[in-house]
Structure 1
Amino acid sequence: MSTGAQLIAAHDLIVRADYGQIYIESSATEDDDGWGDLDPYNAALDDATESGRFVGVRPGLIDLLTPGQWNFQTPMRLEIWSAEPADDRDEWDHEVDGDLDVPDGWISFAASGGGYPERMEIPSGDYRVRVSGRGFTQVGRAGAEGDDSYRLRLWPRDRATAPVLRKRWPGWDVHR
């Protein structure tokens, strides 16, 4: 972790989760993403489940799996940092780091079932992103009651880095 990290901006949003997923994406998402994925959404879902991170990463796309089937009022906090922020994973149920390139300065949050995405303008750049979630109760039940919430922390990066599972919620053990 870098010392002296400063919070640049913070936004509290309400996003939609559906089919147990929230897509977080930028214009860098492509149908052929250079990784050989003709469908980056299914590839990100496969990455999320096969890796056991329950957060799938593809260029310009993060597929955040939620314990609940749906929650159209999901709290999401978006933070932009000058460098990697301090470690507070003890306050969260699940946490994953990945990369997200935002070439045009816009990211969107959309439910996998469609609907209108929530869009947010941020400084364009290549970011490391920390996805944190809490309030998880039970796979298939959390979320619909509005119990779960998420935080996305972004900070500049100078090179691509593999996704890292920082903390795993034990409730994912029953996921099939």
Structure 2
Amino acid sequence: MTQPTVTTDLDVEINHGQVYIYAQAPWADDPSNNAVLRALDDARQSGRFVGVADALVDLVTPVQWNFQAPMRIEIWSLEPPADDDAWDQVVDVDLDVPNGRLWFEGSGGREPIPCDVPAGTYRARVSGRGYTEAADGAEGLDSYRLRLWPRDDEASPALRKSWPGWQNLT
């Protein structure tokens, strides 16, 4: 199949250069859970700038604030075809959605934005673009995509493409 089975477009909030993606907040049952800090550490230390901790994905961006950042969510029946050249940053991670809803939350306690997706055990491809323009001071030109497809086994996060501008920002 060369097309997603489901596509949803929404605006997410980037706050302090981050947006959290999760099916269930790790801190819901344990307010002392520091998954956001561990995911941020993972994002930076790995050089992926997409970190994972306790089923929380932390998408780190060079954009400090964009409260209407376009995010496309695509559900695929198989791994989607690669189009990494169209994006600045591309990372694959595992992302499980047992309850059929994803949440997108800007760092710093922003109101989470829901998105209904079919419940499942997924591999996710997180992509971002407009990074160079944002680093040069342009506002509102960044956009993001989250592609989900079923997975059978767990896999480590994988950096598919790295935006070279990270070295100037870190």
| TM-score of the pair, normalised by structure 2 | 0.91
* Counterpart code for 2:91: V
Report if aligned partners of 2:18, 2:59 keep a CA contact under 8 Å in 1: yes
Question: How far did 1:60 drift?
Answer: 2.0
- Structure 1 segments (4+ residues) deviating >4 Å: 138-142
Match of 1:112 among 91, 107, 110: 107
* Counterpart code for 1:20: G
In the TM superposition, what whole-angstrom CA distance separates every residue of 1:29-73 from its partner, at most 9, and x where no partner exists? 4349xxxx9411100000000000000012321100011111101
Match of 1:21 among 2, 18, 22: 18
Q: In the alignment, does 2:120 pair up with 1:134? A: no
Match of 2:8 among 6, 11, 18: 11
Report if aligned partners of 2:127, 2:146 keep a CA contact under 8 Å in 1: yes
Runs (5+) with no aligned partner, structure 1: none
Q: In the alignment, does 2:77 pair up with 1:85? A: no
Report if aligned partners of 2:133, 2:141 keep a CA contact under 8 Å in 1: no
SS in 1 for 2:131: coil
Question: How far did 1:140 drift?
Answer: 5.5
Which residue does 1:147 correspond to in 2? 141
The total of aligned residue pairs comes to: 168
SS in 1 for 2:141: coil
* Counterpart code for 1:152: L
Report if aligned partners of 2:26, 2:56 keep a CA contact under 8 Å in 1: no
Which residue does 1:170 correspond to in 2? 164
Q: In the alignment, does 2:26 pair up with 1:30? A: yes
Question: How far did 1:134 drift?
Answer: 0.6
Provide the aligned C-alpha RMSD in A: 2.1
Which residue does 2:35 correspond to in 1? 40
Question: How far did 1:104 drift?
Answer: 0.7
Question: How far did 1:5 drift?
Answer: 5.3
In structure 1, what is the Cα distance between the partners aligned to 2:126 and 2:119?
19
SS in 1 for 2:111: strand
Match of 1:95 among 90, 95, 100: 90
* Counterpart code for 1:153: R
Report if aligned partners of 1:75, 1:149 keep a CA contact under 8 Å in 2: yes
Deviates more, 1:149-158 or 1:132-141: 132-141
Runs (5+) with no aligned partner, structure 2: none
